[in-house]
C-alpha cells in the first residue's frame, strides 16, 4: 500500500472503483472499528483524543446496604 493511500484514508474513507462502480472502501483501522461497532475497553474509550477538554465532575454517591429477611 502506498503512503499516498494511507494519507488519503486519514482524511476519510477512500472509495475504490472497478470500471467506474464503487467496489471497495479504504479507511483507517480506527474508523473501521468505530463503524463496525466493535466494543472497546474502558481504557481505550477514555484515551480518545479531545476527552481531556471535557469538564466532568460527578457528585459522590453513597450506597447503603440493607438487611435481608430470609425467613
pLDDT digits (tens, 9 = 90+) for 13-71: 999 999 999 999 999 988 888 888 777 777 877 777 777 777 878 889 999 998 989 98
The answer to whether residue 57 is domain-embedded is no
Cα distance between residue 11 and residue 3, in whole Å: 13
Predicted pLDDT of residue 19: 93
Predicted pLDDT of residue 1: 65
C-alpha cell at 52: 481531556
The answer to whether residue 66 is domain-embedded is no
The answer to whether residue 46 is domain-embedded is no
The answer to whether residue 7 is domain-embedded is yes
Predicted pLDDT of residue 42: 78
Cα distance between residue 71 and residue 69, in whole Å: 6
The answer to whether residue 25 is domain-embedded is yes
14: domain range? Answer: 1-36
Total count of domains within the chain: 1
Would the pTM count as exceeding 0.85?
A: no
The answer to whether residue 43 is domain-embedded is no
The answer to whether residue 30 is domain-embedded is yes
Amino acid at each position: 500500500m502506498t503512503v499516498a493511500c494511507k494519507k488519503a484514508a486519514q482524511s476519510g474513507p477512500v472509495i475504490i472503483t472497478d470500471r467506474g462502480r464503487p467496489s471497495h472502501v479504504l479507511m483507517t483501522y480506527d474508523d473501521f472499528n468505530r463503524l463496525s461497532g466493535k466494543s472497546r475497553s474502558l481504557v481505550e474509550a477514555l484515551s480518545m483524543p479531545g476527552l481531556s477538554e471535557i469538564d466532568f465532575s460527578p457528585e459522590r454517591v453513597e450506597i447503603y446496604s440493607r438487611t435481608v429477611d430470609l425467613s
